[in-house]
Structure 1
Amino acid sequence: MKLVEWIKALTFFFQVLTFSFLFCFLFHSFLFFSFPLLSFPPFLLLFPTHLISLPLFFLMVNYEDIGQAPQCDYLRSEYAELRSRSNGNRSVAWSPDGSYFAWSCGRGYVYLYKWDSNQNKILRSSADSKATLSKQRIFDCGESVWSLAFSTLPEPDSSKQEVSSTHFRPRHINFKKYLTLAIGVNSGRIQLWNCHNGNLLCLLDDHTKLVRCLNFAPDGSQILVSGSNDGTLKLWDLDDDGNMTHTLHTPLKNIVYCCKFSPGARYLAACGEKRLVMIWKMKKPYEIFHRLAGHQNDVVSCDFSPDGVLLATASYDTRVIIWDIHEGRALRELGHLFPSPRPIFAGGCNSYYVRSVTFSRLGTYLGTVADDGYVRMWNLLSTSEDPESIAMVTNGLCCGFSPTGQVLAVGTRSGCVYFYTSQQRVPSLQHKCRQVIRKQRLANAFLPDDNMEDSDELCPSDGLKLSVPFYPQRYSWDCGLACSCMVLRFLDKNCNTVYSSDLKWLQCKESVWTIHLALLMKLHDVRHHFCTITLGVDKNYAKQSYYKDHFSEDERQVNQLFENAEEKGISLEKRSVELAEILEHLLEGNILICLIDYSVLACTGCFKEKEGCTLLKCFGNCINYYQGHFIVVCGYNKVKKLIYYMNPNDSHEEICSCSMELFDIARKRYGTDEDLLFIYKD
């Protein structure tokens, strides 16, 4: 090529580059000045690396160079041609032994088929030659289906007894006799069906919104966990006729999209909207083990590795992250958009939303479904950033490996299911060694440690921690209301009216006294006992800066409440309470609300000094005079002489601790009146 032609080509290239730069600069200037929190300064475009990354953002991986996953079977829904929200196949499930496959095919129906593990196909009748099959078993749920889960296998000597489906709360059902299919529906109910005879065994009814996810504990304990749009996870014990045993709350009432037990049922993982990824210990009092941060958008699916030490999470930010649950850190990211979008764009890549993720039986493969029309199978033994094999599936919503790991089932929005065979690669020695090391580290996390403040290994008389759902205070004056919400959640009662109609009924405005909290407990039918050394308001408090701004109005109302306490049903007693009585109250499984001087209280678990802008943000600057504050006392450790409590003004939302001596000083300081509000479960 002549020199003149080279010059013309370069001139044209720089003209295009200049116009592209000007367009991007003007566009991002508009975004920055219109929405400064959602954009980045336009001067960043001056850096060449940023300019080059803009066109690369729209590039895709060339999937022609990647292997194609072979399809081995296909199920077509009768409602595939109908376009309705209730048609979507939101869940597929395999029985633990791989003999059954269930899918929600639309219109409130769940089909149950027998699966041939030898040929990797649905068992069809001789008359069937097409994809539309003769129904093996149909469960008519009567409303939209959102989630499915099989129970553990029935006991070998159990007889298949038929149970009537007319009892919504039956008694004495031995669920270990049946292979049970749990179905979560739109009304918030969970239907339990007998897979052998197709009868409805019972209904579990406590969620207020639709049930998005279900999972049985794999240890054979017949514990079922359910996650819902109401922001809660509930544990159900089928050995106790399906009664609910515990409720776990997400921090901000996040919608729970997926929940999974670890293989040994030691942990429970849940993910949801607002980047929620949490792991709980499945040992009372069900403490939070980790809160994993790394995704930039809603997290919609999660799954544990077969050894129980890795967790894979899929998000709308186009990524799958594999976590080490012992350390709570990300080990690897699998991107579905090349290059991965920056946080500002992570919520806008609608065509690359990752919908589902699942581990294979050996833990060497990972299956994912995304909105770009591809199913991906990732070889975790490889260091490649690309999947090992793919398949094209339109509108995929969910996926799940068979128990043998040979087949990946993919459910679609049209209600159809595609089955793809997966390679069975023998794990390398390096992979097996890593599994052993991770298991050992995870087991060591449960060993008692002299430096730990945990009281799980102590007998109840020496120490215990009661699991109290955290509720943060909203303003500078409402720590008592927040503590009341924690108490109501602890008792599985509704606290949604505390800040609205209840606060208006109390007429306490922005000054909450302990007598108000006692009245609030009475309003919610909570058995309580209020102990104080001062019946009414101490007139000397008018001289204290903490009370003086609203003392006159408070004095009149609070004194009237004390006078009418018996008439209003408040259990009230004038006396001082010793620490031994508090410990005895906690030993019985009860909690209490305590008024303390927060200027002298210090949490031994915090890794930084108490600062006015952090731990005392509701009271202004760090000062030494009295600062009244309510806390919920929920445990103790006699060996280490610690008191455990929940602080509504804390930032890490976990149980705090302080020495018993300091706790006694803080609760008996002048200004507290030694107020204690004992709460009883019964």
Structure 2
Amino acid sequence: MGGETKYHPYVKPNRYKKNDPAPRVVPPVGTTVVAQFKSPEGDVCGPPLNLPADVTPEQLALLLNNLLENEDPLPYSFLVDDTEIKTDLHLDIIHGLNRSTEDQITILYRPQAIFRVRAVTRCSASLTGHTEAILSVCFSPDGTQLATGSGDTTVRIWDLTTETPQFTLEGHKNWVQIVAWSPDCEILASGSMDNTIRLWNPKTGKAMGEPLRAHSQVITSIAWEPMHANASCNRFASASRDGTVRIWDATLRKVLLTLAGHTAPVMSVKWGGEGLIYSGSRDKTIKVWDAITGKLVRTLEGHAHWVNHLTLSTDFILRTGPHDHTGKRFATKEEAHAAALARYAAATHDGARKERLASCSDDFTIFLWEPSTGKKSLTRMTGHQQPVTHLSFSPDGATLASASFDKSVKLWDGLSGTFLTTLRGHVGAVFQVCWSSDSRQVLSGSRDSTLKTWDVKNRKLRHELPGHADEVYSVDWSPAGDRVASGGKDRVLKIWRH
């Protein structure tokens, strides 16, 4: 036998060059597996099928589109036990997870965005004007304008067509920590350390009346009622270090309801799609409120330290309302409202998929909740070694990204909370994360002065974006997908493009 190489019967030697890192494991000819498709909501699709063991994701997509009777084929990803089928079923699952071909396998399918967002690779504009740190950057829901809030007490609006300054909004007497657009893009709200909220007309740059005073301490968070729930787009909620959340009518310029009950500063507020408002506080709790009556529905408990941030699985669809990747404009409010309703219904499968809430804390953990149905958490997610400062659901709700002082970004399954991967590369605390509108890339901004984009499917660094001279406090990816904005300690607003 000397000198002769023995091959395992599963390995075909002639298909590989000598310098290949490892031979690919292939099943014996004719090997089949019994498998059944299952939707993200848990519904089975079609009968169990006898599939070739080496069936590819492309072949699975053809089969599934056929089963679902999709007139226009849609792209899907396929998972078994939270492991994605990237090459073929045998390599990734049978061999990769050590599963038997005798077992029936359940294949979870997930729809993917039909469009693709191109990676941002270069800085297209470095815009000066702010004289202190930029604390908040936020694109308008339709992606045509960008607002920034700064430690210099001003809000600035930037023209994205020319990537130049458009308006400087002056009036606050202290740092502006938050800027938030109404869903119809008609009003920009800003919240400040001067304890006031101001409303601005983003088309003219003019203040809409006097500052709104009701809170006795710093404004920490602002959330507008989504367009599908209110075509007028005139109500919003504000959270403050004074421990309250207030619901405002922007037209009447007055407080409609005060949500009191927290015993410490409220750091994050979200206005959900199911008629509920969520508030996360330094009293370690999250409270769920009825948006119409202001009554407390339930309190979510579990965190052992401050709650820093909240995110909803519906965040992207609530933020963008009627606006999708096509850039379509609407002639009337009614038309926009109808489009927002249709997009929300599609995103939630006509209510079959309940809104999920994730919370992160200084206790290093994340909790996943289904707050409309009960106060028990779905799961507690551990792994970060330092406070978790920020988190964000992907636009399709399938993945959750978290940012931490431990210098890492972690990805979690958005339905089960299962840990997926740690994205390492930053050498300083990660302050914020945001997503591309096709859910395929996540972006992080850090104390180390860089932004990084990560490929979610391959779980690898896509691009490093250096250029800031100091800490990056705030990042946002345009809903249109074409631009990223970042701001921080160096006072420079940077726009990044493909």
For the aligned pair, the TM-score class normalised by the smaller chain equals: 0.5 to 0.7
Q: Deviations over 1:497-545 (max 9, x none)?
A: xxxxxxxxxxxxxxxxxxxxxxxxxxxxxxxxxxxxxxxxxxxxxxxxx
In structure 2, what is the Cα distance between the partners aligned to 1:274 and 1:195? 36
Matches within 5 A, 1:193-212: 193-212=248-267
1:150 to 220, 224, 232: 224
Q: Is the 8 A contact 2:366 2:380 kept in 1?
A: yes
Matches within 5 A, 1:416-431: 418=493, 420=495, 422-423=497-498
The one-letter code of the counterpart of 2:182 is S
Measured after TM superposition, the shift of residue 328 of structure 1 is 3.2
| 1:180 matches 2:255 | no
Q: Is the 8 A contact 1:234 1:248 kept in 2?
A: yes
Change (3 A) 1:364 1:274: same
| 1:337 matches 2:442 | no
In the alignment, which residue of structure 1 is the partner of 2:169? none
In structure 2, what is the Cα distance between the partners aligned to 1:300 and 1:243? 28
In structure 2, what is the Cα distance between the partners aligned to 1:95 and 1:295? 34
In structure 2, what is the Cα distance between the partners aligned to 1:262 and 1:401? 17
Matches within 5 A, 1:73-472: 75=148, 77=150, 79-80=152-153, 87-114=174-201, 123=203, 125=204, 134-136=206-208, 138-140=211-213, 141-153=215-227, 178-217=233-272, 219=273, 221-239=274-292, 241-252=293-304, 254-263=305-314, 264=348, 265-337=354-426, 352-380=428-456, 384-387=460-463, 389-392=465-468, 394-408=470-484, 410=486, 412=488, 418=493, 420=495, 422-423=497-498
Q: Is the 8 A contact 2:200 2:208 kept in 1?
A: yes
Measured after TM superposition, the shift of residue 210 of structure 1 is 0.6
Q: Deviations over 1:56-95 (max 9, x none)?
A: xxxxxxxxx96325357664658459xxxx9554434343
The one-letter code of the counterpart of 1:322 is L
Change (3 A) 1:373 1:327: same
Change (3 A) 1:90 1:364: farther
In the alignment, which residue of structure 2 is the partner of 1:67? 122
Measured after TM superposition, the shift of residue 385 of structure 1 is 2.1
In structure 2, what is the Cα distance between the partners aligned to 1:75 and 1:325? 29
Change (3 A) 1:183 1:411: farther
In structure 1, what is the Cα distance between the partners aligned to 2:430 and 2:194? 25
The one-letter code of the counterpart of 2:222 is L
Q: Is the 8 A contact 2:450 2:465 kept in 1?
A: no
Q: Is the 8 A contact 1:376 1:391 kept in 2?
A: no
Secondary structure of the structure 2 residue equivalent to 1:291: strand
Larger radius of gyration: 1
5+ residue gaps in structure 1? 1-64, 116-122, 126-132, 159-176, 339-351, 424-682
Secondary structure of the structure 2 residue equivalent to 1:107: coil
Change (3 A) 1:194 1:208: same
The one-letter code of the counterpart of 2:312 is F
In structure 2, what is the Cα distance between the partners aligned to 1:91 and 1:417? 17
In the alignment, which residue of structure 2 is the partner of 1:32? none
Aligned residues: 303
The one-letter code of the counterpart of 2:242 is S
Measured after TM superposition, the shift of residue 407 of structure 1 is 4.7
In structure 1, what is the Cα distance between the partners aligned to 2:212 and 2:460? 43
Q: Deviations over 1:217-264 (max 9, x none)?
A: 1x3x2211000000110001112x211110011242x21001122124
The one-letter code of the counterpart of 1:109 is T
Q: Is the 8 A contact 2:288 2:371 kept in 1?
A: no
Q: Percent identity?
A: 23
The one-letter code of the counterpart of 2:373 is K
Measured after TM superposition, the shift of residue 321 of structure 1 is 0.6
Change (3 A) 1:356 1:257: same
Q: Is the 8 A contact 2:444 2:452 kept in 1?
A: yes
The one-letter code of the counterpart of 1:420 is I
Q: Deviations over 1:578-636 (max 9, x none)?
A: xxxxxxxxxxxxxxxxxxxxxxxxxxxxxxxxxxxxxxxxxxxxxxxxxxxxxxxxxxx
The one-letter code of the counterpart of 1:287 is K
In structure 1, what is the Cα distance between the partners aligned to 2:188 and 2:181? 5
In structure 2, what is the Cα distance between the partners aligned to 1:235 and 1:225? 5
Matches within 5 A, 1:33-72: 67-68=122-123, 70=125
Change (3 A) 1:242 1:318: same
TM-score (structure 2 length as normaliser): 0.53
Q: Is the 8 A contact 1:98 1:402 kept in 2?
A: no
Measured after TM superposition, the shift of residue 305 of structure 1 is 1.0
In structure 2, what is the Cα distance between the partners aligned to 1:71 and 1:381? 31
In structure 1, what is the Cα distance between the partners aligned to 2:193 and 2:260? 22
Q: Deviations over 1:195-218 (max 9, x none)?
A: 33433322211111110011121x
Looking at secondary structure, tell me which structure has more helix per residue: 1
In structure 1, what is the Cα distance between the partners aligned to 2:421 and 2:412? 7
In structure 1, what is the Cα distance between the partners aligned to 2:487 and 2:236? 18
